[in-house]
Amino acid sequence: MNYRHIYHAGNFADVLKHAVLARLVLYMQKKDKAFRVLDTHAGIGLYDLSSEEAQKTGEWREGIGRLMLAELPPQVAELLSPYLSAVRDLNPDGGVRLYPGSPKLARILFRPQDRLSAMELHPDDHNRLARLFEGDYQVRVTELDGWLALGAHLPPKEKRGIILVDPPFEEPDEYERLVKGLAGAYRRFPGGTYCLWYPLKKGAPIKDFHQALQDLDIPKMLCAELSVRSDRETTGLTGSGLIIVNPPFTLKDELHALLPVLKQVLAQDRFASQRAFWLRGETQPEER
């Protein structure tokens, strides 16, 4: 309840998360049938990077700020185009003052038949999110603990969906809770595409987290990680990861194109790194 994403909006972790979310949305749209995005920890939806909070940390300058100015290889520019075009559309005068959170980004990319369920527990943030989408029949905003939404809102009536789980990681057991939440959600909706975000920082139990996910015996889980600096001299966030369950068959190759460029653009020291590999499924030995 203390976490406020405005301090971190548009940072390097958002760049990875939103670039992948945009790819997932576009893949879903290859079929005419409607789908639903369930955003379990939605935040306020739209962030003013000129606000006092965002300016206090300035994290966006080393995230979306860098990416918007970067010269990108043609293939990567094409893959990032849906995401970056959404940001540009919000800033017609240039620069980056307004930045879309996950629910706003998904909504910008939607077709008329697509739907969004956005969950936010923080009362003030929920109210702002509700005002943002007021009158929008494609969006349903609910004041609810996102972890509960994994039970109460699955499966979606469309029977097709992206479930984005992006908790604040304020509690020490959030990695375990993420595993438990996925296990329960997958039982209810095994055909969904799940995108789980997690932080990389010194002492984070990533090996145990990955092993616990593998033990769920879910057939296909793809992992993408991007670190922008060394964790040797800080206890703060140095990178982030995504677990994608039931990923599009194209996503692995797209990540192999995207991640090296994102590492180059967003690196804060020479220890920046990236990787994409199968946790379960089409694993190749050399990927480990």
Catalytic residue among 166, 173, 253, 269: 166
Dist CA 201 CA 174 (whole Å): 14
237 near 201, Cβ under 8 Å? yes
**Whole-angstrom Cα distance, residue 30 to residue 48?**
32
Instruction: Tell me how far apart the alpha carbons of residues 2 and 12 are, in angstroms, rounded to a whole number.
Output: 21
Q: Quick check: helix, strand or coil at residue 118?
A: strand
269 is known as an active-site residue = no
**Closest to 181 in 3D by CA, of 41, 280, 278:** 41
Q: How far apart are CA 191 and CA 223, in angstroms?
A: 18
Pull the structure tokens for residue 209.
């987290």
Strand partners, 166: none
Q: Is the dihedral of CA 17, 19, 22, 26 positive or negative?
A: negative
Structural element, H or E, at residue 243: strand 237-245
Active site amino acids: 166
